[in-house]
Amino acid sequence: MDWFILQLLNGLDKGSAYALIALGLTLIFGTLGVVNFAHGALFMIGAFCAVTLSRILTLSHQVVDETKTDFLGNPLKVDVPYVYDIFGESMGASIIDWAVPLSILFAIPVMIGIGVIMERGLIKHFYKRPHADQILVTFGLAIVLQEIIKYYFGANPIPTPAPEAFTGSFDFGALLGFDPGSIIYPYWRIIYFIFAAIIIGGVFAFLQFTTFGMVVRAGMADRETVGLLGINIDRRFTIMFGLAAAVAGLAGVMYTPINSPNYHMGMDFLVLSFVVVVVGGMGSLPGAVLAGFLLGILESFASMREVIEILPGINQVIIYLVAIIILLTRPRGLMGRKGVMED
Amino acid sequence: MGILEVKDVNKRFGGLQALGDVNLSVQENTVHAIIGPNGAGKSTLLNCLVGKLIPDTGSVLFDGQSVLGRTPHEINQMGISRVFQTPEIFGDLTVMENMMIPCFARRDGAFRLHAIEAVENEAELRDQAEAMLDDVNMLDKRNMHSASMSRGDKRRLEMAMCLVQNPKLLLLDEPTAGMARADTNNTIDLLKEIKEKRDITIAIIEHDMHVVFSLADRITVLAQGTPLVEDTPENIKGHPKVQEAYLGESH
Amino acid sequence: MLGLEKKDATLLLIVFGLTMLAPFLLNPFPEGSAMAQFNAGYPDLMQRFVIFGIFAIGFNILFGLTGYLSFGHAAFLGIGSYAAMWMFKLFGMNVIPALALSVVMSGLFAVLIGYVSLRRSGIYFSILTLAFAMMSYALAYSVLATDMDGPDRQGLLQKGLTGGETGLQLTLQDPRILGQKAAEDGNLPVPNIFGLEMRSSAELELGNWVFTFSAGYYFSAVVMLIAFYLSIRIFRSPFGMMLRAIKSNQQRLNYTGLNPKPYTLAAFVISGMYAGLAGGLMASMDPLAGPERMFWTASGEVVLMTILGGAGTLIGPVLGAGAIKYMENILSKINSDILHGWFAFLPDGLEDFVVAIIYPFIGKGWHLTLGLIFMAVVIFLPGGLVEAGQRVARMFRGKKAEDDSKSASTEPAE
Ligand SMILES: Nc1ncnc2c1ncn2[C@@H]1O[C@H](COP(=O)(O)OP(=O)(O)O)[C@@H](O)[C@H]1O
Ligand SMILES: [Mg+2]
């Protein structure tokens, strides 16, 4: 039983990331009808928002520390971050320590800005073009964004740790009455899951309980009619794109302590997220979330040593296998509406 | 028994009964017109004949064989060709290429992999296609990009594409809508000529009564998914029910 | 000529001339001159031009004609490479049987993957092909690389069918039942065609110029010309016309009595076989096959090539493949020193400024240039380089010729 819970938990953090990215992809596809291959890049940019903020916070100037000397006996120069000057040393240190969570505040406006610029500057012109063209132009954009990040941050992963307070692990084993240490789970992954749940809940609440959300949902169900009602769909589309970008970005910010960000992480996740969207049902928000968690958990179970011994490599292909089976037997996915792109 | 026998066909779209107990018998080598107000279910009926839709209940027999459950290309190979209400042509291809495709379909069936010899070298098929284009007065447009033509020309091209297949049953969905008067008259003449020269049965949906009365041997009036009356043109003209349901408003 | 119309025959002749003279044409700058780094006339790069040309020509038969956008064609490239390697290991180093097996194997896999993927269209088709390719990659990387000989034996399958991350390599233990197990000097044997080694080459020195003629390049070029010739025939055939009809209006095709499915499947399989041929040639030039050849980026690359050159045109994919491989190899070599050298004539401050602006786009940043060019093509020039060429030609021919070219552009594709 303990192994079961352990694998379940292990699947949750990856599942959360899949769900968040797939949610954004679906928002864009459902409202705008656009297949966005650059969505993974938004996830990646979010992660690099965290890197950027922690670099800004650690921007330092050198001061001479009279109390210490280097090996030649000269007074030692030490780097002092500017935040120390502003907030004092202990406060400054904890601000730096909390760089990743603080990046949320930093990433929201940045991501919304990027999303809006993307939609107004590029995507808008592709609403009426074939899906293949949308895939191609956003694929090109993904390459460009990825290369810009690579140019400024280099090709190597950049470790971006979680705050000190969250570095440990939680012993679920002891809590649930199994052997202590049988199920240990890093704090940060718990945080990530809770965070994902909040964001997902927030997006659904936003769509459910605001007028804006109602129009958007109506638009997802029947775009033409809503357009005919004379409701300004354009502006709402732009806002939706910004929102989806922010969701992807925040997913990226919070993922940094789990996996050190690198420039190609977006594409790695994108390929899988597409598969998730398809499994969930193109255009279905609950489907995207459900499929994200399901596939994350499935992947985690498939990675168990006992499973791999029987079916070698199954962990690497399970998601694709499920997607192929779903697409062939139930093309509308787990929760897709009938008739949506069943061809 | 007619070449086309539609029996008790029903089709619903959600709450809307698009076709209700439709019975229709089209005799071989006749022109059968189906008329009725917009939304009466005329196009839906044709969709059930060519495999685009499957009726909820009922049967459709063509030449004594059921068409239900067959794919559109199988039905076409049985001898049914259709002109759509909004022109369906190969917009990226030239007029001549548009004509060649049905020629190949007629000669080679639903699939044949001839990937090496050039289309250019199919002299016999090309002659057929050109002769047909000539019949619809479009030979001069043979090298045109078909998407760039007028709606009327697209329609005439689509009709030529269907006719060159030499179908047993030709289904026409408002073939003269959007055509200039002269082209409409040409189309009437063409269809009359075809009818005389070939063994062909035509089912035509048409709003233009001039076209209907020039061509039709029999007329079925459809209203709200159900046939109202079926009779000869003379009798339909004076039929009070028809006057009321349909002709009354358009004349 | 060869059953082609005059226009197509001319195109084929031009391509023939260009590929045969490539060692000269691609080496315009004398050895040791400042511009010599722009020379592309060395065998390794020229081979890549033509091999990726084949890959893109095949991809274009599927995407350019039918509009079905496969994001997983690299799977067939990889299968072709592995098949050729096994032929080298088991039978001998002659490239002809190796290539034959590459084509057959990739064709078989294409039937399988195509049959399943083509049950969907649009973006679903793209994702299905992507999923299949990534599955192949994952399998080649791990499962198929596990020891299948058993722990006590050290035989052929010790590293599985694919060799995993390091790839499939030749060893001196390979049986090669129809050929030599090792070269005369005891080293690994080299792929050859009836004795002529692929890596052999001749050099010609003319003044400051050095031209290299490599057997591998000329062999690949001949294969590419045959592949190109076949693609012209396919484009002009009834089959090619049906494929364009599928892209244009599948519904009309159905109601005209034609079944689109076998046509698209045939196009898929043919283009998979082209990819397999390209993969086999890659292994023939450099006997090694690794899973990265099947990664989705490789599939993306052939998409880029085809669209950059001009999807649906005959020559476009070859141009696109050449342009991207040239950028990859030449643009990526330019560093900031070279840039400073070029702009040395500018005043110092301005020089630094200009270099700083250009620098992100060259060297390791060449992908950025590629991405930007690609986006520009998709947005402004859907016909790719070929359309650009046509527009320029039209500009030069002036107004009178404009009407002619209008009717010319309605013809299938040039
Ligand atoms: N695919 C469909 N889905 C839902 N309703 C449809 C569909 N096709 C037709 N209808 C409806 O069925 C009715 C009959 O349509 P149609 O056969 O096109 O009429 P007609 O051709 O006689 O003008 C109309 O009310 C139309 O809105
Ligand atoms: Mg109608």
CB of C236 less than 8 A from some CB of B:
yes
C248-269: burial string, b at 16+ Cβ within 10 Å, e else: bbbebbbbbbbbbbebbbbbbb
CB of B140 less than 8 A from some CB of C:
no
| Stretch (H or E) spanning A252 | helix A233-255
pLDDT band at B250 (very low <50, low <70, confident <90, very high): very low
- The DSSP annotation for B134-164 comes to HHTT-GGGTTSBGGGS-HHHHHHHHHHHHHT
pLDDT band at A228 (very low <50, low <70, confident <90, very high): low
Least CB–CB distance from B89: residue in C240, C249, C411: C249
pLDDT at C183: 83
Whether residue C5 and residue B143 make contact (CB cut-off 8 A), yes or no, is no
B251 inside domain: no
**Selection from A27-41, A45-59, C198-212 with the highest mean pLDDT:** A45-59
Measured in angstroms, the CA of C366 and the nearest CA of chain A are apart by: 9
Whether residue C240 and residue B122 make contact (CB cut-off 8 A), yes or no, is no
Least CB–CB distance from C239: residue in B114, B122, B145: B114
Whether residue C242 and residue B104 make contact (CB cut-off 8 A), yes or no, is yes
List A289's β-bridge partners, or say none. Answer: none
Residue type, A174: A
Structure tokens, C368: 């950025």
Contact A207, A285 (CB under 8 A): yes
Whether residue C127 and residue A151 make contact (CB cut-off 8 A), yes or no, is no
pLDDT at A231: 65
Q: Based on the domain organization, do B241 and B132 belong to the same domain?
A: no
Does B40 contact ligand 1 (Cβ within 6 A)?
yes
Interface test with C, best of A145, A327, A328, A329 (most C CBs within 10 A): A327
What is the rounded distance in angstroms from the CA atom of residue A2 to the CA atom of residue A183? 7
pLDDT at C18: 95
- The DSSP annotation for A310-339 comes to HSTTHHHHHHHHHHHHHHHH-TTTTTPPTT
- The DSSP annotation for C377-390 comes to HHHH-TTHHHHHHH
Question: Which residue of chain B comes nearest to C259, CA vs CA?
Answer: B110
Nearest to A148 by CA among C331, C297, C363, C368: C368
Contact B138, B160 (CB under 8 A): yes
User: Which residues on C lie below 8 Å from B94 (Cβ)?
Assistant: 410-411
Does B42 contact ligand 1 (Cβ within 6 A)?
yes
Residues spanned by the domain of B134: 91-155
Q: Residue B19 maps to which CATH number?
A: 3.40.50.300
| Stretch (H or E) spanning C249 | none
Q: Based on the domain organization, do B73 and B102 belong to the same domain?
A: no
pLDDT at C154: 56
Specify the ligand 1 atom closest to the Cα of B38.
23
Boundary-marking domain end, from B129, B155, B181: B155
Residue type, A296: G
Measured in angstroms, the CA of C6 and the nearest CA of chain A are apart by: 33
pLDDT at A227: 63
B161 inside domain: no
Nearest to C70 by CA among C307, C387, C282, C378: C307
Q: What domain count does chain B have?
A: 2
List A77's β-bridge partners, or say none. Answer: A64
Q: Based on the domain organization, do B58 and B176 belong to the same domain?
A: yes
User: Which residues on A lie below 8 Å from C370 (Cβ)?
Assistant: 143
Residue ranges in B68-222 assigned as alpha helix (H): 72-78, 95-108, 123-135, 151-163, 181-197, 209-215
* Side-chain-side CA neighbours of residue B82 (13 Å): 28
pLDDT at C3: 82
What is the rounded distance in angstroms from the CA atom of residue A339 to the CA atom of residue A323? 18
Q: Based on the domain organization, do B96 and B150 belong to the same domain?
A: yes
What is the rounded distance in angstroms from the CA atom of residue C283 to the CA atom of residue C285? 5
What is the rounded distance in angstroms from the CA atom of residue B102 to the CA atom of residue B80? 12
Boundary-marking domain end, from B110, B128, B155: B155
Measured in angstroms, the CA of A271 and the nearest CA of chain C are apart by: 8
B216 inside domain: yes
> Residue B85 Cα, ligand 2 centroid: separation in angstroms?
6
pLDDT at B247: 52
Q: What residues contact C29, with CB distance under 8 A and at least 6 apart?
A: C35, C36, C38, C39
Residue to substitute in B11, B44, B226 for testing ligand 1 pocket (most ligand atoms within 8 angstroms of CB): B44
Q: Based on the domain organization, do B174 and B142 belong to the same domain?
A: no
pLDDT in tens, C125-141: 998 898 899 889 988 88
B142 inside domain: yes
Structure tokens, B91: 């917009």
Nearest-CA residue for atom 8 of ligand 1: B44
Interface test with B, best of C252, C265, C268, C404 (most B CBs within 10 A): C252
Q: Please report all neighbours of C, defined by 3+ CB atom pairs within 8 A.
A: A, B
Whether residue C237 and residue B116 make contact (CB cut-off 8 A), yes or no, is yes
pLDDT band at B251 (very low <50, low <70, confident <90, very high): very low
Specify the ligand 1 atom closest to the Cα of B46.
17
Mean pLDDT across chain B, nearest whole number? Answer: 91
Per-domain residue ranges of chain C = 6-295
Q: What is the pLDDT along chain C (414 residues), one digit of tens a residue?
A: 778 889 999 999 999 999 999 999 998 888 888 778 888 888 999 999 999 999 999 999 999 999 999 999 999 999 999 999 999 999 999 999 999 999 999 999 999 999 999 988 888 899 889 889 988 998 888 877 776 666 555 567 767 788 888 889 888 888 888 888 888 888 889 999 998 999 889 988 888 888 989 999 999 999 999 999 999 999 999 999 999 999 999 999 999 999 999 999 999 999 999 999 999 999 999 999 999 999 988 999 999 999 999 999 999 999 999 999 998 888 888 887 888 888 888 888 888 888 888 888 888 788 898 899 999 999 999 899 999 999 999 888 875 544 544 444 444 444
Q: Based on the domain organization, do B180 and B217 belong to the same domain?
A: yes
